[in-house]
Amino acid sequence: MKKILIILLFAYVSNLSAQPIISDKGHPEHIVAGAVIGAGVSYLVYKKTDNKLKAWLIGAASAAALGYLKESVDPKWFGGVKSNKDFGYTALGGIIGAGIVITLKKRKAKATPNIMAAFKNSPIQ
């Protein structure tokens, strides 16, 4: 509980920006954000469907959709400028990040234990 209060106090006291800029143009940030979104969504979809192509497509499309949404509301909410390059870099990051599903192995169905076989030769009957 103390750690949470310290973090909240630090966030309140410090001047945090909603969009920290590491580079001048901001392209690496967009690629990383797209990769994180694409990887997370594609992993969750793959766990649910066990279909790599579907997971990759949905992961990349979700990163592109969120990148477009962010660039659409940027001038109104954040006082920024709508940039097609930023959208492209976010979509590229989503395509790269969604590729995580290519490296995953197919899930094997868990074998259900046979309870009756475990107690078949038991002295208690």
Q: In this structure, is residue 73 part of a structural domain? A: yes
Q: In this structure, is residue 52 part of a structural domain? A: yes
What is the mean pLDDT of the segment spanning 97-104? Answer: 86
How far is Cα 18 from Cα 21, in angstroms, rounded to an integer?
A: 10
What is the mean pLDDT of the segment spanning 37-54? Answer: 92
Q: What is the pTM of this model?
A: 0.63
At residue 24 the predicted structure's pLDDT band, cuts being 50, 70 and 90, is: low
Is the per-residue pLDDT at 100 higher than 90? no
pLDDT of residue 82: 79
Q: In this structure, is residue 113 part of a structural domain? A: no
How many domains are there within the chain?
Answer: 1
Residue-averaged pLDDT of the chain: 79
Q: In this structure, is residue 114 part of a structural domain? A: no
Residue among 89, 102, 103, 27 at smallest CA distance from 57: 102
Phi, psi of 16 (to 5 degrees): -90, 140
Token pair of 8 as six digits: 């909240």
CA 100 to chain CA centroid, nearest Å: 11
Q: Which domain holds residue 27?
A: 23-104
